[in-house]
Amino acid sequence: MTAPLVPVAHGSRDPRSAATVRGLVERVRVQAPGIEVYESFLDLSEPRVTDVLRRLYAQGHRAAVVVPLLLGSAFHARVDLPALVTEVKAECPGFDVRVSEVLGVDPVLERVALARLSGAGLGPGDGVVVSAVGSSNAGANSAVADLAVRWEGELGLPVTEAFASAAQPDVPAAVARLRARGVRRIVVASWFLAPGLLPDRIAVHAREADRAVFVAEPLGTDPRVAAAVLHRYADVVTRIPL
């Protein structure tokens, strides 16, 4: 029996977020019809990952692969999720639950995020803000800063990072950085998986700084994101004993 795939997202009070995650998981199912796939969430949305795993165990599954739908490796990936998996395994003897790497700063996802800028008509005088959630984990923030450096080289335009919470620069500070470099129009790229409260906060602050700002959509349900989820699953499932 092939181990089920359990993508797990953070969860949000904004229903658009959970709807996007469910749409992405449906894309995964279409791309991998031979695998059982069950969406789940860490918090704020249903079903919770612990409930999904317990249900799979009760149905007779003895292994599962959890793929974190997270774009950074910070507290949720390093502490929250491992603790929840440990809790389930303590209750379910013999249940082999493996957790893959987060989606993270994957080149495929970078291409999706850059494609979201296609409607901006980038040109001379423009500058790009790569917007992300922000974290108390310096490494997660540095990964976004590195992303901005790569994009600046690729686009040939000024690029800087901005965070919605927990880290600096925020959007006003990022816009000030770009203005100091001669940028006339602000374009905001989205390093978010789904719409929600934090991407909305980014958009509000960006429009306060520049009424003509272009704000890109999150990565969403793009088939390339679904393929990245399946790649994370494939990296793990082959290590589970039959």
Q: What is the pLDDT of residues 64-96, one digit of tens each?
A: 999 999 999 888 889 999 999 999 999 999 999
154-186 burial code (b ≥16 CB/10 A, e <16): ebebbbbbbbbeebebbbeebbebbeeeebebb
Q: In whole angstroms, give the CA distance from residue 187 to residue 61.
A: 47
DSSP secondary structure letter of residue 185: E
DSSP secondary structure letter of residue 48: B
* Predicted pLDDT at 174: 97
3.40.50.1400, 3.30.70.330, 1.10.20.10, 2.40.50.140: which CATH number matches 117-215?
Answer: 3.40.50.1400
pTM: 0.95
% the chain with pLDDT above 90: 93
| CA distances from residue 146 to 5, 143, 152, 161, 235 in whole angstroms, order as listed | 30, 5, 10, 9, 25
Average pLDDT over residues 104-126: 96
Q: In whole angstroms, give the CA distance from residue 174 to residue 159.
A: 9
Q: What is the pLDDT of residues 92-104, one digit of tens each?
A: 999 999 999 999 9
Q: What is the pLDDT of residues 176-230, one digit of tens each?
A: 999 999 999 999 999 999 999 999 999 999 999 988 899 999 999 999 999 999 9
Q: What is the pLDDT of residues 142-188, one digit of tens each?
A: 999 999 999 999 999 999 999 999 899 999 999 999 999 999 999 99
Question: Does the pLDDT of residue 1 top 70, yes or no?
Answer: no
Domain 5-104+221-237, what architecture? 3-Layer(aba) Sandwich (3.40)
Half-sphere exposure of 228 (CA within 13 A, CB side): 25
Q: Give yes or no for a contact between 136 and 77, defined as CB atoms under 8 angstroms apart.
A: no
Instruction: Note whether 5-104+221-237 and 117-215 share their fold.
Output: yes
Q: Tell me the domain boundaries of the chain.
A: 5-104+221-237, 117-215
Res. 242 pLDDT band, cuts 50 70 90: low
Q: What is the pLDDT of residues 29-58, one digit of tens each?
A: 999 999 999 999 999 999 999 999 999 999
Strands, E assignment, the chain: 5-9, 40-41, 63-68, 96-99, 126-132, 159-163, 185-190, 214-215
Strand partners, 5: 37, 65
* Predicted pLDDT at 76: 86
* Predicted pLDDT at 189: 98
